[in-house]
């Protein structure tokens, strides 16, 4: 995964995301949550900030109870036409192509053969694109629970197909993706323990990028992982 971030022009363990509120972050020592009313608050996005330690980035996520009411997966229209509308590849296939360690051959209709991928969730090498799922790093149901319920259809589709950031979508083994399902870090962490710092940072970055809240159990789980990640930083900016 780090190799892929470098390939896409991002420094290792630096992530992009959206600043949530105009309020100052809580102090590191206190790990105090940023509270938010039931009606989620959205603030204008300032310029890209300097890297933040993971603890400080977590402190920028508002804390709120989840709201699952009204969720349907098809509200988040996904795998639309990718960035290149002429190559026959939808968003899912473009993510798979972009994350290849060794690029596959691509035939008409974006049919792939050959190629190699590394699934960071379980540290498994994959040699057949058919064995990959493209995961929404913060699952669609979790997005809905955390503030997406207030989005319009256009924003839901933008999230579900976000290729503007290499963080929102990730190619992983089907087995690991289905094990994760719609769980947050309080319920599931990748089997590959060496990926936990990056996983927590990427989850935090995606929540911030898309101005989403976290419930208290999720926040505590992220802080628990951060204890072992003193050198992990997060850089964030606004989603479109």
Three-class SS state of 218:
helix
* Residue 166 in domain: yes
Asked if the structure places residue 187 within a domain, the reply is yes
Look at residue 116 and tell me if it is in a domain.
Answer: yes
Structure-token pair, residue 197 = 């710092």
Residue 215 lies in a domain: yes
Phi-psi region of 9 (alpha: psi -120 to 50; beta: other; left: phi over 0): left
The whole domain housing 227 covers 2-25+43-234
Going by C-alpha positions, the residue among 170, 223, 229 that lies closest to residue 197 is 229
Residue 240 lies in a domain: no
Inside any domain, residue 31: no
Reply yes or no on whether the pLDDT at 14 is more than 70: no
| Cα torsion angle, 155, 160, 164, 166, sign | positive
Count of domains in the chain?
A: 1
Q: Is residue 21 part of a domain?
A: yes
Q: Which of 45-49, 63-67, 106-110, 222-226 shows the lowest mean pLDDT across its residues?
A: 45-49
Residue 46 has pLDDT above 70, yes or no: no
The 10s digit of each residue's pLDDT in 75-128 is 999 998 755 556 689 999 999 999 999 999 999 889 999 999 999 999 999 999
Distances (CA, A) of 230 to 67, 224, 226: 32, 12, 7
Q: Note whether residue 47 is domain-resident.
A: yes
């Amino acid at each position: 995964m780090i190799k892929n971030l470098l390939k896409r022009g991002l420094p290792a363990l630096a992530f992009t995301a959206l600043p949530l509120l105009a309020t100052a972050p809580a102090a590191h020592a206190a790990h105090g949550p940023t509270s938010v009313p039931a009606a989620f608050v959205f603030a204008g996005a300032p310029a890209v900030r300097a890297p933040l330690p993971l603890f400080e980035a977590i402190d920028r996520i508002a804390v709120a109870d989840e709201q699952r009411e009204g969720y349907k997966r098809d509200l988040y229209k996904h795998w639309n036409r990718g960035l290149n509308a002429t190559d026959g590849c939808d968003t899912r296939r473009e993510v798979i192509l972009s994350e290849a360690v060794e690029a596959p051959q691509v035939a008409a209709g974006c049919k792939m053969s050959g190629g190699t991928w590394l699934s960071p969730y379980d540290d498994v090498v994959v040699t057949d694109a058919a064995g990959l799922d493209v995961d929404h790093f913060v699952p669609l149901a979790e997005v809905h629970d955390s503030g997406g319920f207030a989005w319009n259809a256009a924003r839901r589709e933008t999230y579900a197909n976000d290729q503007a950031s290499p963080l929102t979508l990730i190619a992983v083994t089907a087995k690991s993706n289905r094990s994760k399902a719609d769980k947050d870090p309080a319920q599931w962490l990748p089997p590959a323990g060496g990926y936990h710092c990056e996983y927590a940072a990427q989850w935090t970055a995606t929540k911030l990028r898309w101005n989403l809240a976290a419930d208290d159990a999720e926040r505590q789980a992220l802080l628990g992982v951060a204890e072992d990640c003193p050198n992990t930083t997060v850089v964030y900016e606004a989603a479109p």
